[in-house]
């Protein structure tokens, strides 16, 4: 018998005692590789974070139903640009920046140690305005880095390869995710 596990007021996950019976349930996360003056914003996760404490990553967050259900629908049945709106909000909340020109880069999936599956949608975006202000308790530090400088940080596995993809995309070279050296 499944049991409901409250995550937040607007988000529930179902635990099937680790059996992964509900193949349709995923935590949806969207991230932004933010570009400013040819450099990329990376942030260090708080040591209090359950997943990847102290590691470096890019800003982003989880999609929750409250992110859109209180907004007017663009058509009779649908909300459009939900991921873009969530990404702008998450970036604003996490690092205080405004972004523009959001583009898809890649996606990945993972089943975490707690048995919860995540689908991560990685995007790139241009810096628009404001200064970096870190969200207390979630992010401890930040840096604007070049691709070479990013190698000096303990990035979550795969992030460096996403940075390379964005660098290439900015040069007009499109590709799917792969391990870059």
Q: Where are the domains of the chain?
A: 26-170
CA distance 174 to 105: 9
Average pLDDT in the chain: 88
Between residues 168 and 20, the one the model is more confident about: 168
Tell which CATH architecture fits domain 26-170.
Answer: Alpha-Beta Complex (3.90)
Residue 155 has pLDDT above 90, yes or no: yes
Between residues 10 and 147, the one the model is more confident about: 147
- Whether 92 and 126 have beta carbons less than 8 Å apart is answered as no
What confidence tier does 85 reach under pLDDT thresholds 50, 70, 90?
very high
Calculate the CA 124 to chain-centre distance: 10
Between residues 132 and 26, the one the model is more confident about: 132
CB count, 10 Å around CB of 128? 14
Residue 96 has pLDDT above 90, yes or no: yes
Place of tokens 């914003």: 41
Read off the pLDDT of each residue in 18-38 and give the average, rounded to a whole number.
81
Span of 2-6, 139-143, 156-160, 168-172 with lowest mean pLDDT: 2-6
The pLDDT value given to residue 3: 43
The pLDDT value given to residue 143: 98
Place of tokens 């942030």: 43
| SS3 assignment, position 98 | strand
Among 115, 106, 124, 7, CA closest to 64: 7
| SS3 assignment, position 61 | strand
């Amino acid at each position: 018998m499944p049991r409901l596990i409250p995550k937040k007021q607007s988000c529930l996950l179902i635990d099937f005692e680790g059996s992964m019976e509900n193949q349709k349930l995923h935590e949806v996360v969207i991230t932004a590789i933010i570009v400013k003056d040819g450099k990329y914003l990376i942030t260090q996760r708080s040591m209090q974070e359950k997943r990847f404490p102290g590691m470096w990553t890019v800003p982003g967050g989880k999609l929750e139903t409250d992110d859109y259900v209180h907004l007017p629908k663009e058509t009779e049945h649908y909300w459009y640009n939900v991921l873009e709106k969530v990404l702008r909000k998450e970036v604003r909340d996490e690092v205080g920046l405004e972004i523009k020109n959001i583009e898809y880069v890649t996606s990945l999936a993972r089943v975490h140690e707690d048995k919860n599956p995540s689908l991560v949608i990685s995007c790139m975006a241009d810096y628009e305005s404001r200064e970096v202000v870190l969200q207390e308790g979630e992010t401890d530090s930040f840096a604007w880095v070049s691709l070479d400088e990013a190698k000096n940080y303990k990035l979550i596995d795969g992030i460096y390869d996403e940075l390379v993809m964005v660098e290439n995309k900015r040069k007009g070279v499109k590709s799917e995710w792969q391990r870059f050296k």
